[in-house]
A and B are shown apart, each in its own frame.
Chain A
Amino acid sequence: NAGVTQTPKFQVLKTGQSMTLQCAQDMNHNSMYWYRQDPGMGLRLIYYSASEGTTDKGEVPNGYNVSRLNKREFSLRLESAAPSQTSVYFCASSVHREETQYFGPGTRLLVL
């Protein structure tokens, strides 16, 4: 039982490049989330998916898109990366949207 997995672990992009961060969970959870973590700012919600087939914006959605591919997988896409998107990205999942969230190990992204 791997829990929540994220790929890649680390990525360097140039400004304007695109990339997709992958997240998968094997806990049969219905809800999934994408956060970014910046020093001194805690975690901020980018997008979430309350259930398969639905996605909603969080606190800081600009510059990102998401896809809930199936119940297990929830990807985050940066279409045109900017230095302000340098951050650590965490995926999380929960049984339902009001239950405890469990986090993946994170992806460190550096945009030059």
Chain B
Amino acid sequence: AQSVAQPEDQVNVAEGNPLTVKCTYSVSGNPYLFWYVQYPNRGLQFLLKYITGDNLVKGSYGFEAEFNKSQTSFHLKKPSALVSDSALYFCAVRAYGNNRLAFGKGNQVVVIP
């Protein structure tokens, strides 16, 4: 079985401060990890993914994520949050050889001006 936990329902951060959205996963074998963002009344937009290689992955809009195998985590980070980053963020995992993605429940990020 594969699963994702996003422990915080909502993350509040002041504009200009660092943003972190947490994700831990459970999967048999090597994980493929993804982050998606959803703006109100829109579909999910792909941000970044980890397949193999460097543990630090850089993606769209200045976001990055760090893969930590020992802690089974894949936290999303941005050095300086913008008000426009306010959205719902989803972490997803897939085991190597498995074509099904397992999504977390999502984290609402609110960036306060």
| A residues whose Cβ falls under 8 Å from a Cβ of B | 4, 31, 40-45, 48, 50, 58-59, 90, 92, 97-98, 100-106
Cβ–Cβ < 8 Å partners of A31 in chain B:
99
Q: Which residues of A contact B4 (CB under 8 A)?
A: 42
| Partner-A contacts on B (CB < 8 A) | 4, 32, 34, 36, 41-46, 49, 90, 94, 97, 99-101, 103-106
A41 to B90, CA, bound (A): 11
Count, A-B residue pairs, CB within 8 A: 45
Q: Are B49 and A100 in contact, with the CB atoms below 8 A?
A: yes
A selection of 17 A-B contacts at a CB cut-off of 8 Å is A31-B99, A42-B104, A42-B105, A43-B44, A43-B90, A43-B103, A45-B100, A45-B101, A90-B43, A92-B44, A97-B99, A98-B94, A103-B43, A103-B45, A104-B43, A105-B42, A106-B41
